[in-house]
Chain A
Amino acid sequence: MAAEHLPFKVADLSLAEFGRNEIRLAEHEMPGLMALREEYAGSRPLASARITGSLHMTVQTAVLIETLVALGAQVRWASCNIFSTQDHAAAAVAVGPDGTPDDPRGIAVFAWKGETLDQYWWCTEQALTWPDGETGGPNMLLDDGGDATLLVHNGAEFEAAGEVPAGSDDDPEEWHVILGVLRDAMKADPAKWTQIAGQILGVTEETTTGVHRLYEMAKAGTLRFPAINVNDSVTKSKFDNKYGCRHSLIDGINRATDTLIGGKVAVICGYGDVGKGCAESLRGQRARVVITEIDPICALQAAMDGYQVATLEDMVETADIFVTATGNLHIITAEHMSRMKHQAIVGNIGHFDNEIDMAGLARLPGIRRNVIKPQVDEWVFPDGHSIIVLSEGRLLNLGNATGHPSFVMSSSFTNQVLAQLELFTKTEQYPLGVHVLPKQLDERVARLHLDALGVRLTELSKEQAAYIGVPVEGPYKSDHYRY
């Protein structure tokens, strides 16, 4: 191992025992993953897979990682968000089920809560760099938001161009950091990313934002390896986006502020799956929920679900809670925030931190940031009124709470493992492009979770199956069916 390479980097290995206890509890709540471990314990179909994961380093992700390991894979990992790592989970994964803090035997994980942007991209690069491997890189990516894919693609692109561009003052701070990482890499090895990209059989992408990037790359002809869009499995998007956010949004707001939600006016920007779950959870607490939308279909859905649909402009001065769930940028501007009620709560549950203009807020003349506690900031305007911003505009359900609960992540991650198996073991069936998992695998993920909930499934008779024209064992719905 080269001297500059650390075997892993986490905040505090002494947290490993706590992390292991939580992982043990989570395993019980993740029946899909545990069923796959049982099924593939003997065959180890991921043996010889070298998987780099870029995904929130939480307790649930630890169960995913250890499932991949149980299926034979070697794994290196980074978080995909600077705040989302649970340090005890990272420690437990580094120590591994058979190691101790003094003798860690887990996987190479590079993640801690509260990374700087420089540290974040260093971690991502570490996860992509396989010092022991012959090729120096992974042969599979497991991505959430597409940052690992982005680094590989941009690195290879700049290597082909022969230089890393300088970047301009208009570019976000993060882009300059990425350019810096790639510039340093190019100095050390001008073919590093090209070589890594060439070895990668494919990527399985977890989230809407990352999937969007993949389709853009495929359209532009710049995609370098096949991708499976895990996000659009029904058992991922509905469960993770809708039911998961329904659970963790109010958890985040409660832990951050302990504000009574009942009776408040809450604005949810975006009524996609995430927005629907958020609206339902706040309504369940008896907030009055108002939706903003740009898509007439989603807006009509919100109205038919009984929500007021307004523009942010209509609500900005009267609402108590604002949550962005759009996947788009510049939703809540600094100007909006300056007009909000005293101590209005502002948070984002979309993947990236560009939905709320934090940089613009910080640039307002005379504004003052008062840190209440980690991930809870009071921003005081010159006139004395203030707002409360959660997780610095990054996704608050992970920053202020613990993200999705284990059961939801089991549904999501079981898709991930099946997608990894598909790409790794049936590579020839997935040509360059972006694919979704076959519906039967989607149904399989659901099946693996029914027993734990005491669900008794009715089986089609042969006559019934023939009558509706589906096999008895599925798939039961057309690809276009909207669940």
Chain B
Amino acid sequence: MGGSGYCSDIADAGLAAGGLARIGWAERAMPVLGLLREECASKQPFAGRSIAACLHVTAETAVLVGVITAGGGQVHLAASNPLSTQDDIAAALASQPGVFVHAKTGVDRDAYYSHLHRALDGEPDLVVDDGGDLVNTLHTERPELLPRVAGGCESTTTGVVRLGQMAASGSLAFPVVAADASVTRRMFDNGYGTSQSVIDGLMRATNLLLAGKTVVVAGYGSCGRAIAERAAGLGAQVIVTEVDPVRALDAIMSGYRVLPMADAAPAGDVFITATGSRDVIAGPHLALMRDGVVLANAGHFDVEIDVRALADLAVDVNRGIRPNADEYVLDSGKRLILLADGRVVNLIAAEGNPAAVMDLSFAAQALALMWLVSGEAGLAAGVYPTPAAIDTEVARLTLAAHGTAIDTLTAAQQEYLESWRHGS
């Protein structure tokens, strides 16, 4: 390894100092990765390995990259979203030995994919993906690289679904750990992180008082549930839309109103999509909405709100009435405010998940990468849930970092729990 011909493609190398300061700030809030970095520095699990990563280029991602490089790995990082790249972080990472960054904020689709290719040019032994674009490009356009890939991990549910389809059709060439589905990830990332940062993004983009407003949350998965809870906690009335009867029932039993989007559309002041699906807010819904409503998407891709339909309905668009807020004026005179172009609002209008949440999420991925590269996993190609042992280890490290002590089962308790002989 070494610098053999690779170079970064970033916006401005001069931003590195500011980026390094922000990474230092994030490190303070990421004690679990800190513990893992110490472990990696001594055990060198990634020595001589190349890792291609497609992740949001943020300060928290930089801390994960630091763990891998501390463990001896070389990292080729591309952005998983053209709008979420923080150029100062990209510059800071590119200034580090063993790290090559291919990411600039606001690049077009062609540049986005060319960055994925540049990351793959590093001939990865491991891949880290967020949304599945990197793994997809690797399989469809760079198959010659597949033989050396030992495995990978995927951060988001959207990516895991795509990989599952690849595995089902027999096209997936290596084992992938689905880091989205780990217990700690769901609990902290979807449950606590996304919801807080989505509300943060909404507030930064609009400065809207949520108390007294009607907030429509589309999707009652782990993200939607937490967003609903945060919005209700701020005094909003929450309406949930769902397609899954079990989740709809869960929303009802949580005290929310559940309506089809067609009925919610005329009732809401704020709409937040968190479904993973497309066209959740479609043209006919937009036409029903009240003047001044705010539309935000918390899902990974920008397809949940039909932005094209919105543009078609609009007779005028006032771009950037506030940062990350565009006003679409309809024929009727009604104005709909779209945040962050319908892209993931918590990353664009706010700072994404707080570092403490990403700490857990990335710790699980670092542990999964260590497990895959160790050869102990011995997995065939396919998508695998995060092993329970990794989940437990993440929780254990997190508690240790928080200074929280817990009880340990006694031998008698252990025996009791494992026995089937004890009755009432």
A residues with a Cβ closer than 8 A to B are 262-263, 283, 285-289, 300, 303-308
The CA-CA distance from A137 to B237 in the complex, in Å, is: 55
The CA-CA distance from A285 to B253 in the complex, in Å, is: 9
The CA-CA distance from A334 to B253 in the complex, in Å, is: 30
Contact in complex: B255, A306 (CB < 8 Å)? no
B208 within 8 A of A: no
Residues of chain B with a CB closer than 8 A to A304's CB: 211-212, 235
Contact in complex: A306, B211 (CB < 8 Å)? yes
Residues of chain B with a CB closer than 8 A to A286's CB: 253-255
A-B contact pairs, 6 of them (CB 8 A): A262-B254, A300-B212, A305-B211, A306-B212, A306-B232, A306-B237
Taking a contact as CB atoms closer than 8 A, the residue among B235, B238, B249, B255 that contacts A305 in the complex is: B235
Taking a contact as CB atoms closer than 8 A, the residue among A262, A306, A308 that contacts B235 in the complex is: A306
The CA-CA distance from A116 to B232 in the complex, in Å, is: 46
Which 6 A/B pairs are nearest by Cβ-Cβ distance? Answer: A286-B255, A263-B253, A303-B212, A304-B212, A304-B211, A306-B235
**Closest residue to B215 on the A side, CB-wise?**
A306
Also in contact, A288 and B211, with CB within 8 A (given A304-B235, A306-B237): no
Residues of chain A with a CB closer than 8 A to B255's CB: 262-263, 283, 285-289
A407 CB, nearest partner CB in chain B, Å: 27
Task: Mark out the residues of chain B between 217 and 276 whose CB falls within 8 Å of any chain A CB in the assembled complex.
Answer: 232, 234-238, 249, 252-257
Contact in complex: B253, A288 (CB < 8 Å)? no
Task: Mark out the residues of chain B between 268 and 310 whose CB falls within 8 Å of any chain A CB in the assembled complex.
Answer: none
**Closest residue to A266 on the B side, CB-wise?**
B255
Count of interface residues, chain B, beta-carbon cutoff 8 Å? 15
**Closest residue to A285 on the B side, CB-wise?**
B255
**Closest residue to A284 on the B side, CB-wise?**
B255
B51 CB, nearest partner CB in chain A, Å: 45
Residues of chain B with a CB closer than 8 A to A306's CB: 211-212, 232, 234-238
Residues of chain A with a CB closer than 8 A to B253's CB: 262-263, 286
A301 CB, nearest partner CB in chain B, Å: 9
Taking a contact as CB atoms closer than 8 A, the residue among A262, A288, A300 that contacts B257 in the complex is: A288
B208 CB, nearest partner CB in chain A, Å: 13
Residues of chain A with a CB closer than 8 A to B211's CB: 304-306
Taking a contact as CB atoms closer than 8 A, the residue among A263, A300, A307 that contacts B237 in the complex is: A307
The CA-CA distance from A133 to B249 in the complex, in Å, is: 65
**Closest residue to B234 on the A side, CB-wise?**
A306
By CB atoms of chain B within 10 A, which of A283, A288, A289, A300 has the most? Answer: A288
Contact in complex: A263, B252 (CB < 8 Å)? yes
A299 CB, nearest partner CB in chain B, Å: 10
Also in contact, A288 and B236, with CB within 8 A (given A303-B212, A304-B212, A305-B211): no
By CB atoms of chain A within 10 A, which of B236, B238, B253 has the most? Answer: B253
The CA-CA distance from A304 to B253 in the complex, in Å, is: 22
B243 CB, nearest partner CB in chain A, Å: 19
**Closest residue to A302 on the B side, CB-wise?**
B212
The CA-CA distance from A262 to B254 in the complex, in Å, is: 7
**Closest residue to A260 on the B side, CB-wise?**
B253
Residues of chain B with a CB closer than 8 A to A300's CB: 212
B140 CB, nearest partner CB in chain A, Å: 46
Cβ proximity bits B94-136 to A, threshold 8 Å, 1 near / 0 not: 0000000000000000000000000000000000000000000
The CA-CA distance from A307 to B234 in the complex, in Å, is: 12
Contact in complex: A308, B237 (CB < 8 Å)? yes
**Closest residue to B256 on the A side, CB-wise?**
A288
The CA-CA distance from A306 to B231 in the complex, in Å, is: 9
B272 CB, nearest partner CB in chain A, Å: 15
For the complex with contacts A287-B255, A305-B211, 13 further pairs of A-B residues with Cβ separation under 8 Å are: A263-B252, A263-B254, A263-B255, A285-B255, A288-B256, A303-B237, A304-B211, A305-B235, A306-B211, A306-B236, A306-B237, A306-B238, A308-B257
A441 CB, nearest partner CB in chain B, Å: 34
Task: Mark out the residues of chain B between 380 and 396 whose CB falls within 8 Å of any chain A CB in the assembled complex.
Answer: none
The CA-CA distance from A287 to B253 in the complex, in Å, is: 7
B39 CB, nearest partner CB in chain A, Å: 43
Residues of chain B with a CB closer than 8 A to A289's CB: 255
A415 CB, nearest partner CB in chain B, Å: 31
A37 CB, nearest partner CB in chain B, Å: 42
**Closest residue to A303 on the B side, CB-wise?**
B212
Residues of chain B with a CB closer than 8 A to A307's CB: 237
By CB atoms of chain B within 10 A, which of A263, A289, A305 has the most? Answer: A263
**Closest residue to A286 on the B side, CB-wise?**
B255
Residues of chain A with a CB closer than 8 A to B256's CB: 288
The CA-CA distance from A76 to B211 in the complex, in Å, is: 50
**Closest residue to A305 on the B side, CB-wise?**
B235
Task: Mark out the residues of chain B between 334 and 373 whose CB falls within 8 Å of any chain A CB in the assembled complex.
Answer: none
Residues of chain A with a CB closer than 8 A to B236's CB: 306
**Closest residue to B214 on the A side, CB-wise?**
A308
The CA-CA distance from A327 to B256 in the complex, in Å, is: 28
The CA-CA distance from A290 to B159 in the complex, in Å, is: 40
**Closest residue to B233 on the A side, CB-wise?**
A306
B253 CB, nearest partner CB in chain A, Å: 4
Residues of chain A with a CB closer than 8 A to B252's CB: 263, 288
By CB atoms of chain A within 10 A, which of B234, B236, B255, B256 has the most? Answer: B255
B422 CB, nearest partner CB in chain A, Å: 32
**Closest residue to B231 on the A side, CB-wise?**
A306
The CA-CA distance from A306 to B269 in the complex, in Å, is: 13
Residues of chain A with a CB closer than 8 A to B254's CB: 262-263, 286
Residues of chain B with a CB closer than 8 A to A285's CB: 255
**Closest residue to A282 on the B side, CB-wise?**
B255
**Closest residue to B238 on the A side, CB-wise?**
A306
Residues of chain A with a CB closer than 8 A to B257's CB: 288, 308
A321 CB, nearest partner CB in chain B, Å: 12
B266 CB, nearest partner CB in chain A, Å: 14
A290 CB, nearest partner CB in chain B, Å: 9
Residues of chain A with a CB closer than 8 A to B232's CB: 306
A69 CB, nearest partner CB in chain B, Å: 46
The CA-CA distance from A11 to B123 in the complex, in Å, is: 90
A121 CB, nearest partner CB in chain B, Å: 43
The CA-CA distance from A116 to B242 in the complex, in Å, is: 52
The CA-CA distance from A287 to B211 in the complex, in Å, is: 19
The CA-CA distance from A286 to B254 in the complex, in Å, is: 5
By CB atoms of chain B within 10 A, which of A287, A306, A307 has the most? Answer: A306
B199 CB, nearest partner CB in chain A, Å: 14
Residues of chain A with a CB closer than 8 A to B238's CB: 306
The CA-CA distance from A288 to B259 in the complex, in Å, is: 13
Residues of chain B with a CB closer than 8 A to A303's CB: 212, 237
**Closest residue to A300 on the B side, CB-wise?**
B212
**Closest residue to B251 on the A side, CB-wise?**
A263
**Closest residue to B255 on the A side, CB-wise?**
A286
Residues of chain B with a CB closer than 8 A to A263's CB: 249, 252-255
**Closest residue to A289 on the B side, CB-wise?**
B255
B241 CB, nearest partner CB in chain A, Å: 15
B361 CB, nearest partner CB in chain A, Å: 29
The CA-CA distance from A263 to B254 in the complex, in Å, is: 6
B58 CB, nearest partner CB in chain A, Å: 32
B282 CB, nearest partner CB in chain A, Å: 25
The CA-CA distance from A201 to B238 in the complex, in Å, is: 54
The CA-CA distance from A289 to B249 in the complex, in Å, is: 17
**Closest residue to B250 on the A side, CB-wise?**
A263
Task: Mark out the residues of chain B between 31 and 82 whose CB falls within 8 Å of any chain A CB in the assembled complex.
Answer: none
The CA-CA distance from A308 to B232 in the complex, in Å, is: 12
The CA-CA distance from A286 to B255 in the complex, in Å, is: 4
The CA-CA distance from A287 to B256 in the complex, in Å, is: 8
Residues of chain A with a CB closer than 8 A to B249's CB: 263
Residues of chain A with a CB closer than 8 A to B212's CB: 300, 303-304, 306
The CA-CA distance from A246 to B256 in the complex, in Å, is: 20
The CA-CA distance from A26 to B249 in the complex, in Å, is: 40
The CA-CA distance from A452 to B267 in the complex, in Å, is: 47
The CA-CA distance from A32 to B268 in the complex, in Å, is: 48
The CA-CA distance from A262 to B256 in the complex, in Å, is: 10
The CA-CA distance from A270 to B249 in the complex, in Å, is: 28
**Closest residue to A283 on the B side, CB-wise?**
B255
The CA-CA distance from A305 to B234 in the complex, in Å, is: 8
B242 CB, nearest partner CB in chain A, Å: 14
